[in-house]
Structure 1
Amino acid sequence: MRTSRILLVEDEASLALLVKEGLEGEGYLVHHGRTGEEAIQLFKRHTPDLIILDVMMPKLNGFDAAQTIRQVDKTTPIIFLSAKIQAKDVVQGFKVGANDYIRKPFSMEELLMRVKVVLDGVQLVSNKQSELTSFPIGNSELRPNRLEVLVNNKEQVKLTARETELLRLLCINKEVLLTKESLLLSVWGSDSFINSRSLDVFISRLRKKLKSDEAIAIINVRGQGYKIVVNR
């Protein structure tokens, strides 16, 4: 199996060294940058499997760097590391394309587990070719192995690995209410507060990507969860 490549961008030298050594100890190949500008340059040079981004960096911050990367790559997972822990900051992180958001200070055990969950999620989706390769829904078709949905059977819309897995769960449970807890545990591996907020953001992103197919609706049952329905 190919060694997973991780791009780590952190300007605090001691923390960067700790994280880099921890990741390398688990067998990952790590490229390290210190600024948002370096994040973009190293991303283009090394095509990593995962990006770990600090948020508060001089000149170009992590949010802006992620937004620039997302203009050319919609699928490579991004994990933010940040001392900015207000709900608005977490939501902003997911809006610019994050797959996860870890609050500083954190333990290496937590980071390594979240890295594994994110990378396993990418592998899980890429392995779907051995299972069902498409899910018709409304006038559209989810294609998990391609990380995309064919909206109205004509417009190819790219998804992240986590968006794909979330939509897949909703599709195979069409018209069935899935609780927030079950979705969080299945897709994020944890039902923490931050992950709960991120679920809401991901649902919003899926609605936006599917909005031109008027036959599909993702319904929020307040205080319970979500379900996808097809209007015939």
Structure 2
Amino acid sequence: MSEKINLLLAEDESALGQIIKESLETRDFKVTLCEDGNKALEAYQAHRPEILVLDVMMPKKDGFTLAKEIREIDDDIPIIFLTAKSQTQDVVEGFSIGGNDYLKKPFSMEELIVRIHNLISRTETQKTSEVLTIGDFTFNFPKQQLTYKNEEGEQLTHREAHLLFHLIKNKNSVLDRSLILNKLWGNDDFFSARSMDVFITKLRKKLKKDERLQILNVRGFGYKLTD
């Protein structure tokens, strides 16, 4: 059996939310259902889902506000908005704040499932093309493998790979400490910060074969990878 897709559903209409949840769970999805935006943000931080399905009109925190906050720490996760609103400016706003798709109520479950699979497939395709070069190293992000020249590749841990990916993507620029802590560790508290320092030290050791490469500590801001 294929691994279940971890999905976060935020829908304040209890009956509709339960119908969507149960329908998705019969299709190999693992669904976390929340009935307001605040609980959905907490669930996102706790479970790190692969895709978000967000109702726009929710109590405490609406779907657009929730999406904006998540986009500040996660550029990649696919977001589908569910809404009864049909005005053009609402659709435009949804896409402008980082939504990937927009489904108007009422909708069929088959259509929702097709759209979810399309977004996940598109995201996976983008990730498989991420083979990066830094100095004399080649970094295959999907395989989490770092290769120096023609040597055998070294396998990185999940967190090492994601941290290196963001350092390379922001090469010669400062990688914001708080942003990356929230993105990879789920918070920016003292213990997470110390953990990230350990991972930075590990990456420095892995990159030391190319003396041009340095990961600099920019005090009070974050880290910068230079070549």
Question: Aligned in 2, Cα 1:126/1:148: closer, same or farther, shift over 3 Å?
Answer: farther
* CA-CA distance at 1:123 after TM superposition: 1.4
**Larger of the two Rg values belongs to structure:** 2
Match of 1:206 in 2: none
| Residue 74 of structure 1, CA deviation | 1.3
Q: What's the counterpart of residue 5 of structure 1?
A: 6
Structure 1 segment 171-210 matched on structure 2, within 5 A? none
Q: How far apart, CA to CA, are the structure 2 residues paired with 1:120 and 1:87?
A: 27
**2:35 paired with 1:34:** yes
Tell me whether 1:117 sits opposite 2:123 in the alignment: no
C-alpha separation in 1, matches of 2:71 and 2:116 = 19
Matched, 1:92 2:93: yes
- Superposed CA deviations along residues 102-158 of structure 1, whole A, max 9, x for unmatched, are 1111111110000000111111122225xxx369xxxxxxx996599958x74599x
**C-alpha distance in 1 between matches for 2:117 and 2:13:** 23
CA shift in 2, pair 1:123/1:12, >3 Å: same
The whole-number CA distance in structure 1 between the counterparts of 2:15 and 2:125 is 34
Write the letter of the residue equivalent to 2:81: F
Q: Which residue of 1 aligns with 2:59?
A: 58
The answer for the alignment partner of 1:103 in structure 2 is: 104
Give 3-state SS (helix, strand or coil) of 1:106's partner: coil
Identity of aligned residues (%): 37
Compared with structure 1, are the counterparts of its residues 56 and 119 closer, same or farther at alpha carbon in structure 2 (3 Å cutoff)?
Answer: same
5+ unaligned residues in a row in structure 2: which ranges?
134-139, 143-164, 176-227
Give 1:69 deviation, angstroms.
Answer: 1.0
TM-score (norm 2): 0.58
* In 2: Cα distance, 1:123 partner to 1:148 partner: 20
In 1: Cα distance, 2:167 partner to 2:64 partner: 24
User: What is the letter of the counterpart of residue 80 of structure 2?
Assistant: I
Which residue does the alignment assign to 2:69? 68
Residues 15-61 of structure 1 deviation map (CA, whole Å, 9 limit, x = unaligned): 11111111111101000100010110000000000010000011211
In the alignment, which residue of structure 2 is the partner of 1:187?
Answer: none
* Gap runs ≥5 in structure 1: 136-142, 158-232
Of stretches 14-23 and 27-36 in structure 1, the one that deviates more from structure 2 is 14-23
Q: Cα RMSD between the aligned structures?
A: 2.5
1:14, 1:115 → 2: CA distance? 21
TM-score normalised to structure 1 length: 0.57
